[in-house]
Amino acid sequence: MIDLFRTLPKLPLLALLSLTLPASASGASHRSVIAPDLPPPEHVVATLYFLSEPGDFIGLGEEVTLTEKDGEFDALVYDPSTVSVGFNTDDVWWDLVISTADGSPLHPGSYEDSRRWPFNDGRPGLDFTGQGRGCNESEGRFDIHEISFKPDGRLDRLSVDFEQHCDGGPALHGQLHYAPAAVPSPPGGPWLTTSELPGFRFKVKITTPDHTIAGQSIEPCFDATLCVSGAVAERPELFLRILGPRNNGYLWPAITRFTPSQIEIWIEKLSSGKVNYYFLAPTTPDNPNLPVLVDRTGFHP
């Protein structure tokens, strides 16, 4: 196979979109993607974090955190089954592509046993590249916590954790958040607080097929944890924690759910007034995979 990405120079986004992808090993060709006339970019809040294990070719063993203050994030929807988000400055670029195995729309959930996009051939597609480095082949997985599209088909929100092994090498663990700058207004009523998490307050809205419930705190709870109940009083449906500061200099909100219902969470850091919003889509009642959401770029200490 031609080692295309290991020698690919940094190109402007529109130039990359007009490339014709090489044929797969089976000889099937892949269509060119030509960027349409796009509206002016809107302001988004976006972060890219990755931790590369020693020996990983893509991340070179580094831990990297980037936000919209460091450069420009661009989102491209090939179709509802395939989405790309890239980060660009004059001398830094990274790009993540995720896709489903069968062309069905992307939705929240776990995608196991991925292969390098666009050569994934019936498996979920994943490709994380940057700085002129890419994989010939890759294996991995990803968890979509949230994804939504605008009425015109553009990407609205995306929250995804991913793991990639490039050419059989060590893992690169990554996380990407992409959302409009505006945070949905929290519901009325009191904020939830606990002495276990000083300096923060929380609001939780749990939506079931029948009604909407304001989450209530449960005391006592575990160390450094806010336990939240929903439909059944005093039965935890959510654990909220604030971890760190971690090695990348951020405090990491960690959200563990025990309900398939839709959950919305607002976390405010009192000293700065910054409010983070998290949306956990509903899932099937018998789903055994309810992944923990850890925001690795949540708050500055």
Q: What is the pLDDT of residues 254-295, one digit of tens each?
A: 999 999 999 999 999 999 999 999 999 998 888 777 778 999
CB-CB contact of 187 with 203 (8 Å): yes
122 is in which domain, residue-wise?
A: 5-180
Work out the widest C-alpha separation in the chain, in whole angstroms.
62
Q: Are residues 215 and 166 in the same domain?
A: no
pLDDT of residue 35: 42
Strand order in the sheet with 171-180: 63-67, 44-52, 171-180, 155-166, 138-149, 109-116, 125-130, 93-99, 82-88, 72-79
Distance CA 223, CA 140 (A): 34
Ramachandran assignment for 7, one of left (phi > 0), alpha (psi -120 to 50 degrees), beta (any other): alpha
pLDDT of residue 11: 38
Q: Are residues 18 and 96 in the same domain?
A: yes
Q: Are residues 30 and 144 in the same domain?
A: yes
Burial of 24 (0-12, 13-18, 19+ CB in 10 A): middle
Q: What is the pLDDT along the chain (301 residues), one digit of tens a residue?
A: 434 444 343 333 333 333 333 333 333 333 334 444 545 556 789 999 999 999 999 999 999 999 999 999 999 999 999 999 999 999 999 999 999 999 999 999 999 999 999 999 999 999 999 999 999 999 999 999 999 999 999 999 999 999 999 999 999 999 999 998 888 999 999 999 999 999 999 999 999 888 999 999 999 999 999 999 998 888 999 999 999 999 999 999 999 999 999 999 999 999 999 999 999 999 888 877 777 899 999 999 9
Q: How far is CA 161 from the centre of its chain?
A: 5
Q: Are residues 290 and 141 in the same domain?
A: no
Residue 260 corresponds to which tokens in the numbers above? Answer: 């398939």
Work out the angle at residue 40's Cα, subtended by the Cα atoms of residues 38 and 41, and round it to the nearest 5 degrees.
Answer: 100
Q: Are residues 233 and 165 in the same domain?
A: no
**Does residue 301 sit within a domain?**
no
**Does residue 195 sit within a domain?**
no
Q: Are residues 141 and 215 in the same domain?
A: no
Q: Are residues 157 and 220 in the same domain?
A: no
Q: Determine how many CB atoms are found less than 10 A away from the CB of residue 271.
A: 11
Distance CA 96, CA 129 (A): 7
**Does residue 185 sit within a domain?**
no
Q: Are residues 174 and 205 in the same domain?
A: no
Rounded alpha-carbon distances, angstroms, from residue 65 to 42, 120, 145, 250: 22, 28, 19, 9
CB-CB contact of 238 with 288 (8 Å): no
pLDDT of residue 41: 52
Domain count, the chain: 2
**Does residue 288 sit within a domain?**
yes
Q: Are residues 168 and 267 in the same domain?
A: no
Q: Are residues 218 and 153 in the same domain?
A: no
**Does residue 191 sit within a domain?**
no
Q: Are residues 165 and 211 in the same domain?
A: no
Q: Are residues 27 and 158 in the same domain?
A: yes
Using alpha carbons, select from 243, 207, 236 the residue that is nearest to residue 219: 236
**Does residue 188 sit within a domain?**
no
pLDDT of residue 42: 61
**Does residue 189 sit within a domain?**
no
Instruction: Please say which residue of 131, 151, 180 terminates a domain.
Output: 180
